[in-house]
Chain A
Amino acid sequence: MKNSKLFQPYTTTQPASTATQTLEETTHLLTESSQAKLKSIPLKPIRDETPIIAVDVSSMKIGETDIGILCAIRAAVVWKQKHQYRYLRLGPFPFHITEENKNEVYHLFRQYSFLEQPTLDYTSTLSLIYAPTRLGALLERWLQMSIAAQTRKSLILWDGSLTAGTQDAPVAVISHLLETARNRSNIVLAFTKITRLRLLGYRLTDYIGKCTPPCLLEINGYPMNLSKAIQFLGNIYVAKLSEGNCSFRLDIDFRLPQERAVEAAQRLIGNEVLLQSYPETLRLAHIYSTFTANEVIGIQRFLAQTHQLRIVTRPNMRRLLFGPFGKGPES
């Protein structure tokens, strides 16, 4: 506590929609090095009507049955072309996942997600609790691949980072996605809203505070205490693309020359509406995919009506045991 002056209190209430849990939840530390440097790169907008495409997926646990869980997934693709935003919303797709069918559902998703057969049998360890997140991630990869393969000379915005090496983001898959995008002259820009990446103990985004926007802060040469499986497939920047207090971690394909990466950021600020440094296309994709509480009720009703399911309210153990002190989500 002695070196810390600021803290952000967490809110106790959960948002209505739980977006896919990504690797950004894991804290990685960049350690000190003599070769390491922080470099500020000022940006000049390039206005050339480059198409901007964003994709986001939300998954949500809808309820429980006696043999499994009910969940729903929804995806949104938003693109901006010629000053107009268009969107395609896919879903909601409700699923009933049980111990019996989880392998079948998972393999079905993998089949359409351009993924190779897993080297490990992930399904044996796939917990039902994480199944919605996992299915959401697979749908997101499928959409990312579809966009990368069907567009040209576009900026593709992802929600999250280019950190690979997990079940949801295998290195081979993310590499293949980036390669497909590169081959069609697309550039993937991955925005992380809240990064846990810390440099010398401080949150990465805190370092850009004094830079004048629009600019990028290049994080280069810092060794990282990563496990062997985890790989960064993008160069990491801190982006402050417009006026305001917010800055974000921005990952750009590390196989691209730095000039092209900077040029991509300049095209983004030249052709996109940015509010608090965050691209509008990606914001819309998030908004269109997110489930509201009312939608959850609607999906529950749909499932109850179409499958004659009886909705059962299980007692909240925390509430039951601790009364008003029983806070936090029900496990």
Chain B
Amino acid sequence: MRLYRKEGNTIQILCLPNESVEKGDYIQVGDPKQDKALLIQVIDVQFANIPGILEELLRDSTNNGDIVNGENLDPLDVASQITLIQDARLIICKIRGTIQNGKLSVSSAWLPSRSQSTVKKLSTTALAALLKINEKLPIYVGETKGSSPLRVDATAFDGKLNIITGKKETGKSHFSKLLVLSLIDYGAPVAVLDLNGEYAHLDHTSDGKKNQHYTKIHVLTPSSNFKVMLSQIKLRVMLNILIHALNLPGTSAREFRRIWRFLNEHAKLSLHELGEAIRNWQCNHHVKDALFSRYYALVNSGFLTDNPSEAITLEDYFRKIRTGGALVINLRDTSFADRQIVVEYLLGKLVEMLTSWKLRAVFLVAEEAHLYLRETYWNDIVTRMRHFGVFTTFVTNQPDTIRENIYRQADNIFLFNFTNAHDLETVSRAAKVDSETVKSIARDLPPRHCLLLGGVVKDFPIVVKVRALDVQTMGQTRLFFNQNTSF
């Protein structure tokens, strides 16, 4: 490999086809005179623009049909060298940093010699050692292209905002589960907003046996084993539910607040009493109608109950997972409005527990959050709630549902394959890496391969093949033509 040219932070390397280089690989351009090396990453592999190549290809194309054929008498086998030149590659790389005295820095304000520099691949293992990304609490995420294991530090997720994105069936949820289980192993409490019921059986191996996480995974299904009493809900949370989830107008909300305070003062805060209070309340009949419709929506959600034996205390569950465990909120069979009610309650409760230091911090995994999280919550989660100790991981296959400002604040991005240019454009706005890298590498990522960006890899993007998990993932799509199972 030879250093060919540099433009901005892009370096072009010329190499022959027998030198195997792929997108995502790291290359070290060492200058012996300056005693340092430039660390660059391959973002694209192209054919070198060899003079005369068009003529050669046109000439050879005449051999392809039945019209012209023949043979070459080349006793010296010169053609093998010509073929080698034909297949010469131009490696497009981005400068990532400088290695000097065995230390890596992000400095790139120098240029190695074109004639004297040595160009060689740097294994991901060596890079990881230089980056020191797996020193404290290593999480084994998978293997790099050289089949060497890659471990990242669990502390890189602490207090951080993460985004896991990629198109369908590329392995996002799988990676998310790996992350959840790894965090649990290090004693972290994790709350999962599980849209498709995929996380419910993480405590079982793929063949149905209990695994080491059996006592650490707690699944709560709204209106089934997840019901709360009205008295457990703060007025602020209830108003959020009514206003944001059930679209209660402001005037009616004010009336509701009076009713709520009245019931609270008389220690009658129950679903039944609330219905009676609305019925007997002296107010405009339009307001009364509005309050009744929301009341019945709450009743029909099945999430609220007056039976103390049916109700659970969320604090108890968070206490169970305080030293490592996951609370999975199974939203699979929950309607859109009910999902919003549950999520409003959960987030309100989380903030309440965190502000009162009943909980130190929680890692929140939100799958396809746009389907249940109201608009105003996005910024709230990534700014205000982060300071309380809610460290969110968004998982989505629709990157444009996450706002640009969220991408800009993301500390870590786990990017799976995208082919759609619009999706790539959206993701490439993330501030953690240049857009060319995202667009070029993500487009060609095979399934289950992930581009790690951000603090977790110290801003040195690394491609990894995510390791398999021996758990019941339940994420597979139900198929019509695979009818081995009966209804």
Real binding pair: yes
Q: Are B85 and A85 in contact (CB under 8 A)?
A: no
Interface residue? A198 (CB, 8 A): no
Interface residue? A16 (CB, 8 A): yes
Interface residues on B, range: 20 to 34
Q: How far is the CA of A293 from the CA of B66 in the complex (A)?
A: 28
Q: Are A295 and B68 in contact (CB under 8 A)?
A: no
Which one of A85, A91, A284, A297 lies within 8 Å of B74 (CB-CB)? Answer: A91
On chain B, the residues within 8 Å of A294 by CB distance are 50-53, 56, 82, 85-86
Which one of A16, A284, A297 lies within 8 Å of B68 (CB-CB)? Answer: A284
Highest count of chain B CB atoms <10 Å: which of A78, A84, A294, A302? A294
Interface residue? A318 (CB, 8 A): no
Complex interface residues of chain A between 293 and 316 (CB less than 8 A to chain B): 293-299, 301-302, 305-306
CB of B54 to closest CB in A, whole Å: 9
Q: Are B71 and A297 in contact (CB under 8 A)?
A: no
Give the nearest-CB partner of A78 in chain B: B70
Interface residue? A86 (CB, 8 A): yes
CB of A84 to closest CB in B, whole Å: 7
Which one of B59, B72, B84 lies within 8 Å of A298 (CB-CB)? Answer: B84
CB of B67 to closest CB in A, whole Å: 6
CB of A169 to closest CB in B, whole Å: 25
Mark each residue of chain A from 173 to 199: 1 if its CB lies under 8 Å from any CB of chain B, else 0: 000000000000000000000000000
Q: How far is the CA of A8 from the CA of B38 in the complex (A)?
A: 53
On chain B, the residues within 8 Å of A94 by CB distance are 76, 78
Q: Are A93 and B76 in contact (CB under 8 A)?
A: yes
Q: Are A92 and B78 in contact (CB under 8 A)?
A: yes
Which one of A92, A292, A299 lies within 8 Å of B53 (CB-CB)? Answer: A292
CB of A53 to closest CB in B, whole Å: 13
Interface residue? B100 (CB, 8 A): no
On chain B, the residues within 8 Å of A293 by CB distance are 50-52
On chain A, the residues within 8 Å of B81 by CB distance are 298-299, 301-302, 305
Q: Contacts A84-B66, A93-B76, A284-B68; is A16 near B51 (CB within 8 Å)?
A: yes
Which one of B52, B67, B79 lies within 8 Å of A16 (CB-CB)? Answer: B52
CB of B236 to closest CB in A, whole Å: 73
On chain B, the residues within 8 Å of A158 by CB distance are none
Interface residue? A222 (CB, 8 A): no
Interface residue? B55 (CB, 8 A): yes
Interface residue? B73 (CB, 8 A): yes
Complex interface residues of chain A between 73 and 98 (CB less than 8 A to chain B): 78, 84-94
Interface residue? B69 (CB, 8 A): yes
CB of B215 to closest CB in A, whole Å: 66
Q: Are A301 and B84 in contact (CB under 8 A)?
A: yes
Give the nearest-CB partner of A306 in chain B: B76
Q: How far is the CA of A15 from the CA of B86 in the complex (A)?
A: 19
Which one of A85, A290, A292, A302 lies within 8 Å of B76 (CB-CB)? Answer: A302
Interface residue? B62 (CB, 8 A): yes
Q: Contacts A84-B67, A294-B53; is A91 near B73 (CB within 8 Å)?
A: yes
Given contacts A298-B79, A298-B86, 13 further A-B pairs with CB under 8 A are A72-B78, A84-B67, A85-B67, A88-B71, A89-B70, A89-B73, A89-B74, A288-B59, A294-B52, A294-B85, A295-B85, A299-B81, A301-B81
Residues of chain A having any CB pair with chain B under 8 Å: 16, 72, 78, 84-94, 284, 287-288, 290, 292-299, 301-302, 305-306
